[in-house]
Copies of this chain bind each other. A is one copy, B any other.
């Protein structure tokens, strides 16, 4: 396929993460990322819309997965039950291998305003998708929006906790714990 080695996008992702972690986002140029990945800057922009997007490559996949889990929930499930299924489905994306990457990624994002902006809009998009999924299940608009918002909040909080947790704690446990906390809060 490629002119040389395969998986240029993957190499670009790794190169970007390494350089962002090492020199910071602002201190890294696209040309440097491309060099390290063995391609040109032009190729970088063929794989990623901009310099930020390289850190959010998996997000569409995750979103699709959550929406599918939402749709796959039993027809008689309550809105919150369906959302819970979608949230729990994220566990399949974050195994122990991804944890180290996730940690470094989170560190870079929180320290870079431009990247925090991008993350916020990704979360907003995710919320919209889940809301739409609930609407297709016949959920009332108000309830759908609120349930989706809550689900994304649970995912966000859980993800942060998982990153900060010891290495032997799987994300599934954290998600369950967060959902339990939510239940006690609203009880």
Contacts and interface: CB of A to CB of B under 8 A. Distances in A.
Contact of A117 (B117, B142, B185): B117
A116 interface: yes
**How many chain copies does the complex carry?**
2
A121 to B, nearest CB: 5
A120 B113 contact: no
A92 B124 CA distance: 29
A185 B120 CA distance: 26
A116 B125 CA distance: 11
A186 to B, nearest CB: 10
A90 to B, nearest CB: 21
11 contacts: A113-B121, A116-B121, A116-B124, A117-B117, A117-B118, A117-B120, A117-B121, A120-B120, A120-B121, A120-B124, A142-B185
